[in-house]
A and B are shown apart, each in its own frame.
Chain A
């Protein structure tokens, strides 16, 4: 997959950082304003997808290698589960054990902020992987697959 023209590349370089910062803002303020882990994660994934569409797959994979994306993907799911199990130490599963703080501040919702961050990691890296799988994988003939199996 090759890149696009110089205009598209320049504007993409200018815009991608702002998109990631906006996605991080939506994730971090998900419990106070509209948004949350899923919407912010999709926006962060869209930044990497834009980089992949404009520059080609090599540049996008040099920013976020495939193995790192797999690790972040699984690590987000494990982080969600671990935060859930943290409540077992006091009461029940997913009990809100963290400090609640002052209302309408950033640290005011206990465990919802870490859960939003975990969902954002999971959603952004897995959507990036889905898109890169759609964009990169080539169709192989059935005969070649069988010959690989036999070899």
Chain B
């Protein structure tokens, strides 16, 4: 159990740092989507499936779609 949780937290940290480092904003959005997805799996393993469902549907799907639309409206690459 502790191994699964620590692996998920490590993967979340890697995805969050990748979202900071990327110059391509679309890749950064996908990396932050990965953070939300791993957080929802973490919530599921911590026995909160209700929060996991809300996190997966909002954080991973809806926010990503809104960010993709925002990137399509503005510039794709960070200066």
Contact = CB atoms under 8 A, between A and B. Distances in A.
Q: Do A and B come from one complex?
A: yes
Interface of A: 26, 34-36, 38-39, 42-43, 45-46, 49, 53, 127, 131, 134-135
A131 B65 CA distance: 9
A49 B54 contact: no
Contact of A131 (B49, B50, B54, B69): B69
Given A43-B61, A131-B65, A134-B66, 14 more contacts: A26-B53, A34-B50, A34-B52, A34-B53, A38-B54, A39-B50, A39-B53, A39-B57, A42-B58, A46-B57, A46-B61, A46-B65, A53-B65, A127-B62
Q: Which of A26, A38, A39, A46: most chain B Cβ within 10 A?
A: A39
Given A42-B57, A42-B58, A127-B62, A35 B69 contact: no
Interface in B26-75: 49-50, 52-54, 57-58, 61-62, 65-66, 68-70
Contact of A45 (B62, B68, B69): B62
B70 A134 contact: yes
B47 to A, nearest CB: 10
Interface residues of B, number: 14
Nearest to A52: B65
Given A42-B62, A45-B62, A135 B53 contact: no
A134 B52 CA distance: 26
28 contacts: A34-B50, A34-B52, A34-B53, A35-B53, A36-B50, A38-B54, A39-B53, A39-B54, A39-B57, A42-B61, A42-B62, A43-B57, A43-B61, A45-B62, A46-B57, A46-B62, A46-B65, A49-B62, A49-B65, A127-B62, A131-B62, A131-B65, A131-B66, A131-B69, A134-B66, A134-B69, A134-B70, A135-B69
A43 B61 CA distance: 9
Contacts of A127: 62
A135 B70 CA distance: 8
Contacts of A46: 57, 61-62, 65
